[in-house]
């Protein structure tokens, strides 16, 4: 009996390496199978989330805010922490004027990425609606100096324009003038933008910069009646009457219905 036990033990020892190899192979196969199934599962979840998100973006752009809210919420079921899903849901909620719910999402997103320009813009707009102008100015400033991508620079300019208009309503002309000077340098020779900036400089009682902006606008569109009238008004306020007169005469010739230019 003792010899038989020894023989079985020796047989076991000889087979042990092979058994270990087999068990290891089975473990690897099991691990790869689980990993593969997990990847398939997550890929399916991501695909479903993206499908709902795409539908939501389409409805958001079409102004169908109720549908967009439902679709973005569905997308979040598959990826609860997705930044873009939450941001677009907040925008849809703003479209429905459900600013309380939108603020909750936006403040959470701001905590995660305080440098996000669009989040700051939306928070600024909500603050304006609630009459919290100091908060609105702060959020707008953060939006202007946020990390916008190269193809989003127009959104940065739009945020600065909204800030300027808010400052003018608050009668903070000095701050508005500083932002306008930066904006004028940013838009370059764009005729329509410079004409709009000239109008804002007029509202801020900065007639010298207003005249410069109008003149820049007129370089590429010399017969723009609105810019001619603005340039004439700015020159008139500066006491530059010989300069103002030709501008105002040209504005009247180009737009006889402009009573402001006729009486300046």
pLDDT at 246 over 80: yes
Residue 115, SS3 per DSSP: coil
> What band does 35 get if pLDDT is binned at 50, 70 and 90?
low
- pTM for the full predicted model: 0.76
pLDDT in tens, 84-139: 999 999 999 999 999 999 999 999 999 999 999 999 999 999 999 999 999 999 99
**CATH number of domain containing 179:** 1.25.40.10
Question: Which of the pair, 221 or 177, is modelled with greater confidence?
Answer: 177
Residue 71 lies in a domain: no
> What band does 75 get if pLDDT is binned at 50, 70 and 90?
very high
Residue 102 lies in a domain: no
Which DSSP state fits 82?
-
Token duo for residue 222: 């010399």
Token duo for residue 1: 């009996």
Residue 246 lies in a domain: yes
Which DSSP state fits 259?
H
Length of the chain: 264
Residue 2 lies in a domain: no
Task: Please report which residue ranges of the chain form alpha helices under DSSP H.
Answer: 2-61, 65-78, 83-95, 99-112, 117-129, 133-144, 153-169, 173-187, 191-203, 207-220, 225-237, 241-254, 259-263
Residue 147 lies in a domain: no
Domain that holds residue 263: 172-264
What is the predicted pLDDT for the residue at 5? 62
What is the residue-wise DSSP string for 170-237? TT-HHHHHHHHHHHHHHHTT-HHHHHHHHHHHHHTT-HHHHHHHHHHHHHH-TT-HHHHHHHHHHHHH
User: Of the given ranges (94-98, 220-224, 258-262), which has the lowest mean pLDDT?
Assistant: 258-262
Cβ–Cβ contacts within 10 Å for residue 250, how many?
Answer: 21
Number of structural domains found in the chain:
1
Instruction: Give the side-chain half-sphere CA count within 13 A for 3.
Output: 0
What distance in Å separates the CA atoms of residue 130 and residue 123, rounded to the nearest whole number? 11
Scan for tokens 């703003």, then name that residue. Answer: 94
Residue 133 lies in a domain: no
What is the predicted pLDDT for the residue at 12? 52
């Amino acid at each position: 009996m003792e010899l038989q036990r020894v023989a079985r033990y020796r047989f076991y020892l000889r087979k042990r390496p092979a058994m270990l190899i087999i068990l290891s192979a089975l473990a690897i196969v099991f691990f790869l199978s689980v990993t593969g199934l997990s990847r398939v599962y997550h890929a399916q979840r991501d695909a479903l989330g993206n499908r709902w998100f795409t539908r939501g973006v389409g409805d958001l752009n079409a102004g169908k805010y109720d549908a967009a809210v439902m679709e973005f919420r569905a997308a979040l079921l598959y990826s609860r922490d997705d930044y873009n899903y939450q941001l677009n849901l907040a925008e849809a909620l703003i479209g429905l004027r459900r600013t309380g719910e939108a603020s909750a999402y936006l403040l959470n997103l701001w905590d995660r990425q305080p440098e996000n320009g669009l989040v700051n813009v939306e928070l600024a707009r909500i603050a304006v609606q609630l009459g919290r102008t100091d908060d609105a100015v702060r959020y707008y400033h953060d939006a202007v100096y946020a990390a916008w991508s190269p193809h989003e620079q127009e959104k940065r300019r739009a945020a600065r324009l909204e800030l300027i208009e808010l400052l003018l309503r608050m009668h903070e002309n000095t701050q508005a003038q500083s932002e306008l000077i930066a904006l004028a340098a940013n838009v370059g020779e764009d005729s329509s933008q410079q004409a709009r900036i000239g109008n804002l400089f007029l509202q801020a009682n900065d007639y010298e910069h207003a005249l410069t902006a109008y003149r820049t606008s007129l370089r590429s569109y010399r017969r723009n009646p609105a810019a001619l009238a603005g340039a004439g008004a700015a020159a008139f306020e500066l006491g530059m009457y010989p300069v103002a007169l030709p501008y105002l005469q040209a504005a009247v010739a180009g737009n006889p219905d402009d009573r402001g230019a006729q009486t300046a």
